[in-house]
Amino acid sequence: MTDPNTLSPLDLDTPDKTFLDANELVINMGPQHPATHGVLRVILRLDGEKVLGLECVIGYLHRGVEKIAENRTYTMFNPYVDRMDYVAAVSNGLGYCEAVEKLLSVEAPPRAQYIRVILTELNRIASHQLWLGTHALDIGAITPLFYTFRDREEILKIFEKYCGARLTTHAFRIGGLQYEAYDGFEKDVKAFCDFVKPKIDEYEELLTTNRIWLERTKNVGVISGKDCIALGVTGPVLRASGIKWDIRKALPYANYKNFDFEIPTGQNGDTYDRYIVRMIEMRQSLRIIEQAVAGIPEGPIMAKVPKVMKPPVGEIYHSIEAPKGELGYFIVSDGSTQPYRIRVRPPSFVNLQALDIMCRGQLVADVIAVIGTLDIVLGEVDR
Amino acid sequence: MHDLIQYIQSYLGSDKTPGGAGNIFWATVYVLLVFVGLSVAVIAMNWLERKILAHMQVRLGPMRVGPHGLLQPIADALKLLLKEDIIPEGADKVVFWVAPFIVVLAAFTVFVVVPFGPTHAITDMNIGILFMLGVSSLSVLGIVTAGWASNSHYPLIGALRSSAQMVSYEVAMGLAVVSAILMTSLNESSTGTLSMIGIVQAQFDQHEWFLFKFFPLGIIAFVIFAIAMVAETNRAPFDLPEAESELTAGFHTEYSGFRWSLFFLAEYSAMIAVSSIAVTLWLGGWLHPFPNLLSSPTWELAFSFIPGLTFLFLGALCFYHTARMPKHPLFRIQTIGLAGFGVVLALIGVVLFIPAVRDRVGDIFWFSAKVAGFMYLYIWYRGTFPRYRFDQLMKVGWKVLLPTGLALLILTAVVGMRGELLEQAKGVFGR
Amino acid sequence: MNPQVAANPPVATPFFFYGLAAIMIIGGILVITRKNAVHSAMALITTLLAQAGLYLMLYAPFVAGVQIILYAGGIMVLFLFVIMLISIERTLKERQFNKQWLIGIVAAGALGGLFIAVYTTTKGGVLFPPVGRPSYVEAQNTQGVASLLFDLHTGTYMFAFEIASLLLLVAIIGAVVMAKKRI
Amino acid sequence: MNAMMEISTLHYLVLGAALFLLGVIGVLTRRNVVIVLMSIELILNAVNLNLVAFSRYWQSIHGPSALHGQVFAIFVITDAAAEAAVGLGILIAFFRNKETVNVDEVNLLKW
């Protein structure tokens, strides 16, 4: 139990002076709580069950990733980024590799680009599946979790076959890929696409028109597009609020401009719209994967990159569309083999800011739903 | 000694419940039987829930302890009993102690009037259904005090939630029950009754389950009750008091070991209790399907075989899975165990074919089978539905179920008394 | 279903009466002496349940059922609810009895004296001599109560019953108005 | 079982009187409003006990349908429910204003 006085001043609605608020309750949700997705600690001020305001306490998983980078070479730091958003490790790797490539003025060969896109999009699906399972579990539907994990397993199998690791894949290298796609890679990916399409329908069957699901998610955790932009919120959360912003389209990286896909948007910016947006995103990712698999060119998989990387003095900011939003890497190089400074702009960390706005005036149960819908990964929030 | 035997035997031919006949010996036997049966049912329910839920969720469930995890509930119970008993700092020790017992007592006491058969009830009170509703409503007290005594925020919120929930849904539940009780009296021949046995008897006399009486009024009442009873027992999708993702475990967060297992026991026996109310009121209690239509001796005989056949089928299922067990030395004990279990089931099935037994267990079997259907529904709900939010739960209770229940009650009365009402109308407008 | 005519096995055995009476008296004493309001409430619940038992012994099963549902399951839950809404930590440390407690005891004692005086002057037992057991159809208790309340011809208390529903309505509105922070 | 051991109406009346006295003592001496309200419930229950006991006595004279006492007891229970609801509502409002539940601090109307 936290003493209310030690709380930093929350910007609360003016308290009702007519009555003494005998019911005001300060509750400490987490860091050990089944629904805070790891070690997030949320201090809630409640009036009965209504949330008056909340504050996130983070840092329980802080490992100093950015600081570690300053003592590692560019190549050595590559595996570390996998440990930030560990459910979307491939995306992290893509962002980092592309950022360093940009700094070195190298470009990965087309075949590498295609395989990168396939793996990243697969990982987007895996990340969304994990989100869906845990989000539904938070809202009380226990079954989707097992369905999504069953299907996510197939993606992890492909990862494992490709690079030997399932979660923290370290799949990409600066300048391209370490491994050539294994025999039957295309076949596996195609088979997965055919396998998972009906499965996504299955998830939707369980939830999309479920009355209780609708009641629990509609008009819950509403955030306007304006607020999203003000807070720097990105990813599906932003798109569900009606802003059509996807870095894959807006500032195309890798070879996303070669592919035909749509950016789903919502209107209300509530939890249900975010759910729908993510469901459509999974299908769009499948579309991208199918196009990419069909068009993988032959050729080298690694660009010419010096063994000892000494990028020119300068700084670079490169961002990609990770499953959770804009994942940016800001790298300052002093010309040595080690980066002078790396700053990561993790989507979860920024999106978490919106929690307060989204929860205010809602009930405790909605806080859970909103934490789920923000799709945060604490490894990324705390780095 | 002779007197005693005579006293014991004197009941056997009776057509009353042991309580009704005032036979203390048989009443004690029945109490023990119900208690043991209930405990076995809870244990079985524990295993079944985990297995069925697991299969709904594309996983296997317990597989390690015993063949197909059959011994898992026993292992769980053992673990709970051996677990350290923690009383949190600052808890009110006495209340903390008493609370689980209140819940268990409330959940078990209701079975005094549950009619497993025309004579198979501990006693038949003439306020039977009132007694059941009243005593089951006492478990709220245990939950509230448990949450309060834990001296912790989550249990307190859980307790307040659950008491509010149970009290609100009791209203809707009561209305549905009253409409069913009303149906006992809306007939030329029978008078109204609150007795559980009387209610089933009335369904027999009126040649229909109350589920279908005054179609669709009976079904609506049943649906109201079926929803309210899930809320009343704090099960998914109304399991807010113990909403895992929000309140960790609700009112019993601070409980562990034996006392926690009491809550567990109470929850499951309360589920069985409310299901038996539903079965008694709407599904014809111990009556087998079409009791009036298929009442010829041949049909009676056929129906009396079904309990035995069911157990034989279960035994055969066990043998089938024994045959499918991996042929590996490591699995030998498990295979033998499963086969043994199958033999036990088959033996029970064979015993159920003995005429003397056959005639007595038919009622109990049909009642239990109907209750088991409800238990399956409970598991199914849990696998399918997300959880309601508190205000939505209250909205459903007060703004949907309550008005529907009230309208239903009035409609039932009007439809039931239509003859008299028409008579009256004729008296006024007729001439 | 035949109404069971009670074959008059004596239900009202003195053993049960004295047991339940003892529970009630002890419960009552605990209600007024406990520091902690929750303990008081628990004691009161015990008292009420024991009283339901006494109602059963008085051949009033319907009242007993109502007692359990309404008192123990309804009103007492309300009490517990309110006790939990108001924090009780502070009241535990305070004086439990008010300043006029002596006067109160004296007044109550006087009332008790009055009871005893009435008993001795009327020779108590003469006023209510033990009577033969009523020829009693237990199964008709509920119907009997209902016929007094609702029946068109024998319903003496029909009007009072309707007034009671009005009272409850007023109580609902009153409770909401009083307890709600902002209406 | 001799006649002396028979439980008569009088036994119930004595018990009722004792409960009534306990309730009166509680109302007059306790400071905590919640407990005062509970003492009132005790008083009402004492009355109820008497009513049902009288009803039993009445039945023995006028036959089984003379259930007026029980009907009255039901009315008393209804009344108790109403009283508890309103009383506790007032208590909550009072607690919100003065942050106390002590009956001798209820002096807003005193001058």
Q: Which of residues 14-43 of C touch B (CB under 8 A)?
A: 36, 38-39, 42
Angstrom distance (rounded) from CA B324 to CA B344 = 19
User: What mean pLDDT is predicted for residues B80-98?
Assistant: 84
Name the residue in chain D with its Cα closest to that of A21.
Answer: D96
| pTM exceeds 0.90, yes or no | no
How many contacts (CB atoms, under 8 Å) link C and D? 256
Q: What total of structural domains would you count in chain A?
A: 2
Pair of tokens at residue B247: 């309140």
For residue B213, pLDDT over 90 is answered with no
Are residues C90 and C154 located together in one domain of the fold?
A: no
Are residues C78 and C161 located together in one domain of the fold?
A: no
User: What mean pLDDT is predicted for residues C117-138?
Assistant: 63
Q: What is the pLDDT of residues B344-353, one digit of tens each?
A: 999 999 888 8
Using DSSP's 3-state secondary structure scheme, residue B343 falls into: helix
pLDDT band at C9; cut points 50, 70, 90: very low
User: What mean pLDDT is predicted for residues A163-175?
Assistant: 85
The strands making up A325-333's β-sheet, listed across from edge to edge, are A314-322, A325-333, A339-345
Interface contact flag, C73 B92, Cβ < 8 Å: no
CATH number at residue A232: 1.10.645.10
Are residues A51 and A75 located together in one domain of the fold?
A: no
Angstrom distance (rounded) from CA C64 to CA C52 = 5
Q: What local confidence, expressed as pLDDT, does residue C27 receive?
A: 92
Chain D: closest CA distance from residue A47 (Å): 13
C-beta separation of C51 from C24 below 8 A: yes
Q: What local confidence, expressed as pLDDT, does residue D48 receive?
A: 92
Are residues A339 and A365 located together in one domain of the fold?
A: yes
Please indicate, yes or no, if residue C112 is contained in any of the structural domains: no
Q: Which of residues 13-32 of C touch D (CB under 8 A)?
A: 13-14, 17, 21, 24-25, 28-29, 31-32
The strands making up A41-47's β-sheet, listed across from edge to edge, are A24-29, A41-47, A50-57
Are residues A188 and A226 located together in one domain of the fold?
A: yes
Q: What local confidence, expressed as pLDDT, does residue A15 receive?
A: 45
For residue B25, pLDDT over 90 is answered with no
Chain C: closest CA distance from residue D14 (Å): 9
CATH number at residue C19: 1.20.120.1200
For residue A173, pLDDT over 60 is answered with yes
Are residues A129 and A221 located together in one domain of the fold?
A: yes
Beta-carbon count within 10 A of A71 CB = 10
Are residues C84 and C145 located together in one domain of the fold?
A: no
pLDDT band at B112; cut points 50, 70, 90: confident
Q: Mean pLDDT score of chain A, rounded to an integer? A: 83
Residues of B in contact with A213 (CB under 8 A): 386
User: What mean pLDDT is predicted for residues C51-64?
Assistant: 86
Are residues A14 and A161 located together in one domain of the fold?
A: no
- Determine the distance from the C-alpha atom of residue B289 to the mean position of all C-alpha atoms in its chain, rounded to a whole number: 19
Q: Mean pLDDT score of chain C, rounded to an integer? A: 78
Angstrom distance (rounded) from CA D51 to CA B167 = 28
Q: Name the residue with higher pLDDT: C129 or D4.
A: C129
pLDDT band at B164; cut points 50, 70, 90: confident
Q: What is the pLDDT of residues D13-39, one digit of tens each?
A: 888 989 999 999 888 888 888 888 999
User: What mean pLDDT is predicted for residues B81-106?
Assistant: 85
Please indicate, yes or no, if residue C33 is contained in any of the structural domains: yes
Angstrom distance (rounded) from CA B112 to CA B102 = 16
Interface contact flag, C85 A23, Cβ < 8 Å: yes
> Which stretch of DSSP H or E encloses residue A57?
strand A50-57
Q: Which of residues 7-26 of A touch C (CB under 8 A)?
A: 16, 19, 22-23
Are residues A89 and A34 located together in one domain of the fold?
A: no
Chain A: closest CA distance from residue C87 (Å): 8
Residues of B in contact with C83 (CB under 8 A): 148
Please indicate, yes or no, if residue C126 is contained in any of the structural domains: no
Angstrom distance (rounded) from CA A163 to CA A159 = 6
User: What mean pLDDT is predicted for residues A53-71?
Assistant: 85
Name the residue in chain C with its Cα closest to that of B143.
Answer: C77
Which chains form contacts with chain D, at 3 or more CB pairs under 8 Å?
Answer: A, C
User: What mean pLDDT is predicted for residues A254-260?
Assistant: 84
Q: What local confidence, expressed as pLDDT, does residue A222 receive?
A: 86
Q: What local confidence, expressed as pLDDT, does residue C126 receive?
A: 60
The DSSP bridge partners found for residue B175 are none
Strands A314-322 and A339-345: unpaired
Interface contact flag, A16 C182, Cβ < 8 Å: yes
- In a mutational test of the C interface, the residue from D13, D92, D104 whose CB has the highest number of chain C CBs within 10 Å is D92
Q: What is the pLDDT of residues A95-117, one digit of tens each?
A: 888 888 888 888 888 888 888 88
Interface contact flag, D39 C82, Cβ < 8 Å: no
Please indicate, yes or no, if residue C145 is contained in any of the structural domains: yes
Angstrom distance (rounded) from CA B127 to CA B134 = 10
Q: What is the pLDDT of residues A205-232, one digit of tens each?
A: 888 888 888 888 888 888 888 888 888 8
For residue C11, pLDDT over 70 is answered with no
Q: What local confidence, expressed as pLDDT, does residue C8 receive?
A: 44
Q: What local confidence, expressed as pLDDT, does residue B421 receive?
A: 83
Are residues C20 and C75 located together in one domain of the fold?
A: yes
pLDDT band at C7; cut points 50, 70, 90: very low
Are residues C15 and C99 located together in one domain of the fold?
A: yes
Q: What local confidence, expressed as pLDDT, does residue A17 receive?
A: 41
Angstrom distance (rounded) from CA B199 to CA B210 = 9
User: What mean pLDDT is predicted for residues B37-50?
Assistant: 88
- In a mutational test of the B interface, the residue from A46, A138, A143 whose CB has the highest number of chain B CBs within 10 Å is A143
> Which stretch of DSSP H or E encloses residue B410?
helix B402-416
For residue C158, pLDDT over 80 is answered with yes
Q: Name the residue with higher pLDDT: B154 or B319.
A: B319
User: What mean pLDDT is predicted for residues A123-144?
Assistant: 87
Of B22, B133, B194, which is closest to C142 when you measure between CB atoms?
Answer: B194
Angstrom distance (rounded) from CA A275 to CA B160 = 31
For residue A11, pLDDT over 80 is answered with no
For residue A20, pLDDT over 60 is answered with no
Angstrom distance (rounded) from CA A175 to CA A178 = 9
Q: What is the pLDDT of residues B245-298, one digit of tens each?
A: 566 667 777 888 888 888 888 889 889 999 999 998 888 888 888 877 777 888
Please indicate, yes or no, if residue C124 is contained in any of the structural domains: no
Per-residue burial over B9-46, b if 16 or more Cβ lie within 10 Å, else e, is: eebeeeebbbbbbebeebbeebbeebeeebeebbbebb
Chain C: closest CA distance from residue A48 (Å): 10
Which of A46-60, A237-251, B197-211, C116-130 has the lowest average pLDDT?
C116-130
Residues of C in contact with D39 (CB under 8 A): 31-32
Cis (ω within 30 of 0) for the bond into A31?
A: yes
Q: What local confidence, expressed as pLDDT, does residue C6 receive?
A: 41
Which of A1-10, B53-62, B114-123, B409-418 has the lowest average pLDDT?
A1-10
Which of A313-327, B91-105, C75-89 has the lowest average pLDDT?
C75-89
Kindly tell me whether chain B and chain D come into contact, counting contact as 3+ Cβ pairs under 8 Å. no
User: What mean pLDDT is predicted for residues B140-167?
Assistant: 82
C-beta separation of A273 from A280 below 8 A: no
Transcribe chain C into DSSP letters. Answer: -PPPPP-------HHHHHHHHHHHHHHHHHHHH-SSHHHHHHHHHHHHHHHHHHHHHTT-HHHHHHIIIIIIIIIHHHHHHHHHHS--HHHHHS-SB-TTHHHHHHHHHHHHHHHHHHHHHHTGGGTS---PPP---GGGHHHHHHHHHT-TTT-TTHHHHHHHHHHHHHHHHHHHHHH-S--
Q: Which residues of D lie closer than 8 Å to A, measured between beta carbons? A: 95-97, 99
Q: Which of D20, D93, D6 is nearest to D56 (CA)?
A: D6
Transcribe A280-310 into DSSP letters. Answer: HHHHHHHHHHHHHHHTPPPS-SB----SS--
Are residues A11 and A124 located together in one domain of the fold?
A: no
Are residues C154 and C92 located together in one domain of the fold?
A: no
Interface contact flag, D89 C179, Cβ < 8 Å: yes
Q: Vertex A181, ends A179 and A183: CA angle to 5°? A: 130
Which chains form contacts with chain B, at 3 or more CB pairs under 8 Å?
Answer: A, C
Are residues C144 and C101 located together in one domain of the fold?
A: no
Q: What local confidence, expressed as pLDDT, does residue B247 receive?
A: 63
Q: What local confidence, expressed as pLDDT, does residue A37 receive?
A: 72
Are residues A25 and A104 located together in one domain of the fold?
A: no
Whether the CB of D105 is below 8 Å from some CB of chain C: the reply is: no
Q: Name the residue with higher pLDDT: C7 or B58.
A: B58
Instruction: Give the phi and the psi of residue A353 in degrees, each rounded to 5.
Output: -60, -30
Name the residue in chain B with its Cα closest to that of C74.
Answer: B167
Chain C: closest CA distance from residue B140 (Å): 7
User: What percent of chain A lies above the pLDDT cut of 70?
Assistant: 92
Give, in order, the Cα–Cα distances in Å from A282 to each of A274, A275, B209.
Answer: 12, 11, 50
Angstrom distance (rounded) from CA A298 to CA A314 = 34
- In a mutational test of the B interface, the residue from C58, C80, C85 whose CB has the highest number of chain B CBs within 10 Å is C80
- Determine the distance from the C-alpha atom of residue B204 to the mean position of all C-alpha atoms in its chain, rounded to a whole number: 21
Name the residue in chain A with its Cα closest to that of C82.
Answer: A23
Are residues A161 and A291 located together in one domain of the fold?
A: yes
For residue C129, pLDDT over 60 is answered with no
Interface contact flag, B20 C4, Cβ < 8 Å: yes
pLDDT band at B64; cut points 50, 70, 90: confident
Interface contact flag, C111 D21, Cβ < 8 Å: yes
Q: What total of structural domains would you count in chain C?
A: 2
Q: Vertex B294, ends B292 and B299: CA angle to 5°? A: 140
Which of A127-131, A189-193, B386-390, C26-30 has the lowest average pLDDT?
B386-390
Which chains form contacts with chain A, at 3 or more CB pairs under 8 Å?
Answer: B, C, D
- In a mutational test of the D interface, the residue from C45, C54, C162, C182 whose CB has the highest number of chain D CBs within 10 Å is C54
Are residues A242 and A95 located together in one domain of the fold?
A: yes
Q: Where in the sequence is the domain holding A164, given as residue range(s)?
A: 65-382
Name the residue in chain D with its Cα closest to that of C82.
Answer: D88
Q: Which of residues 142-171 of B touch C (CB under 8 A)?
A: 144-145, 147-149, 156, 159-160, 163-164, 167, 170
Angstrom distance (rounded) from CA A244 to CA A221 = 19
Alpha helices in chain A (DSSP H): 65-69, 74-82, 89-104, 110-139, 143-163, 185-207, 211-217, 225-231, 236-240, 247-250, 271-294, 347-352, 354-359, 364-374, 378-382
Chain A: closest CA distance from residue D8 (Å): 51
Which of A112-116, A367-371, C13-17 has the lowest average pLDDT?
C13-17
Are residues C102 and C152 located together in one domain of the fold?
A: no
Residue keyed to tokens 């109310």: B277
Q: What is the pLDDT of residues D56-110, one digit of tens each?
A: 888 777 777 778 888 889 899 999 999 888 888 888 888 877 777 777 777 777 6
Q: Could you tell me the sign of the dihedral formed by the alpha carbons of A244, A245, A249, A254, in that order? A: negative
C-beta separation of B388 from A365 below 8 A: no
Single out the residue in C83, C106, C129 at which a domain terminates.
C106
ipTM of the complex, rounded to two decimals: 0.79
For residue A307, pLDDT over 70 is answered with yes
Top mean-pLDDT range of A149-158, B2-11, C171-180: A149-158
Single out the residue in A57, A79, A98 at which a domain terminates.
A57
C-beta separation of A138 from A369 below 8 A: yes
Are residues A223 and A355 located together in one domain of the fold?
A: yes
Q: Name the residue with higher pLDDT: B294 or A69.
A: A69
C-beta separation of B213 from B206 below 8 A: yes
Q: What local confidence, expressed as pLDDT, does residue A35 receive?
A: 66
Q: What local confidence, expressed as pLDDT, does residue B343 receive?
A: 92
If you compute the radius of gyration of chain B from its CA atoms, what whole number of angstroms results?
24
Chain A: closest CA distance from residue D55 (Å): 46
User: What percent of chain C lies above the pLDDT cut of 90?
Assistant: 13
pLDDT band at C5; cut points 50, 70, 90: very low
Q: Where in the sequence is the domain holding C74, given as residue range(s)?
A: 11-106
User: What mean pLDDT is predicted for residues C95-102?
Assistant: 77
Of C44, C74, C128, which is closest to D57 when you measure between CB atoms?
Answer: C128
Are residues C144 and C102 located together in one domain of the fold?
A: no
Chain A: closest CA distance from residue B272 (Å): 23
Q: Mean pLDDT score of chain D, rounded to an integer? A: 82
Angstrom distance (rounded) from CA B128 to CA B199 = 10
C-beta separation of A164 from A170 below 8 A: no
Q: What is the pLDDT of residues A341-360, one digit of tens each?
A: 888 888 888 888 888 888 88
Residues of A in contact with D94 (CB under 8 A): none
For residue A53, pLDDT over 90 is answered with no
**DSSP conformational letter for D102:** B
Name the residue in chain D with its Cα closest to that of A23.
Answer: D96
For residue C91, pLDDT over 60 is answered with yes
Please indicate, yes or no, if residue C94 is contained in any of the structural domains: yes
Are residues C152 and C80 located together in one domain of the fold?
A: no
C-beta separation of B185 from B191 below 8 A: yes
The DSSP bridge partners found for residue A44 are A27, A54
